[in-house]
Amino acid sequence: MRKPLVVANWKMNPSTLAKAKKLFNSIKEGIRKVRNVEIVICPPFLYLPQLVEFLYRCRKSQLNLGAQDCFWKEKGAFTGEISPLMLKNIGCQYVIIGHSERRRHFNETDEMINKKIKAALKAKLKPIFCVGETGEEREREETSKILKSQIENGLNKISKKEIKNIVIAYEPVWAIGTGKPCDPDEAMRMSLLIRKIIAQIYSRSISEALPTLYGGSVDSKNAAKYIKEARMNGLLVGGASLSSKEFIKILKAIS
Ligand code: 13P
């Protein structure tokens, strides 16, 4: 069985570098007893250089760093943006792309997300490509249609070779930060649907090899269900990754 991948999305937290260092170090300590899980911490951009230093000082192969977003150009006059090349250069392995909070608050479109995925792949970063329907779309029974268009457009002109470096995270918007996680049965149906869409675009073997993550109100009580029952290959954790104790519990529950 594939080693589960657990990604911590710290979002715009914590509020100081001192707190970020503390959280990172206690996670680093806590994972001593965790086996067979790959962990990726995605802090705000600003904390990355310091956390990379910590990582290198005590290199743990199961722990990696990622960013929460990137721009689609390598360099140039793009005020406020960070390029995938910069992220790779500083020591990131992964980058979250297309998170629903970016789609909603910053009007990111499938087309922009597609450009970001291509740029990340070019810089040899692994994109964690987020998809998921809103509560209204789910009520209107449009989930399949939404996932299909997000995936087809987000992966437009991405080759069979490149797709092997992508992780897809299913994050239903209605489950994010609400304390109302998706039922594992429903998450399994979504995981199968994502694989079906990928098989239609690429091939069955590619869809079977594709790592899928579940995200949305994950905690230590429900974490194992998404791996064992919903057959996801890992988790994308928001709020619960801001407490080292709870995050380690999640890791232990699935290791
Ligand atoms: P919560 O775990 O806080 O619901 O957030 C999920 C998420 O958006 C991770 O990217």
d(CA 89, CA 83): 10
State the Rg of the chain over Cα. 17
Residues of the chain with pLDDT under 70: 1, 58-60
pLDDT at position 60, please? 63
d(CA 71, CA 159): 20
**Any atom of ligand 1 within 6 Å of the Cβ of 218:** yes
Q: Please, what are the domains in the chain?
A: 5-254 (3.20.20.70)
**Any atom of ligand 1 within 6 Å of the Cβ of 43:** no
pLDDT at position 245, please? 97
Burial of 60 (0-12, 13-18, 19+ CB in 10 A): exposed
* pTM of structure: 0.97
d(CA 226, CA 188): 8
pLDDT at position 59, please? 59
pLDDT at position 109, please? 98
pLDDT at position 61, please? 75
pLDDT at position 1, please? 64
In angstroms, what is the span from residue 13 Cα to ligand 1's centroid? 12
Instruction: Work out which ligand 1 atom sits closest to the CA atom of 176.
Output: 4
171 is catalytic: yes
pLDDT digits (tens, 9 = 90+) for 67-83: 999 999 999 999 999 99
**Any atom of ligand 1 within 6 Å of the Cβ of 8:** no
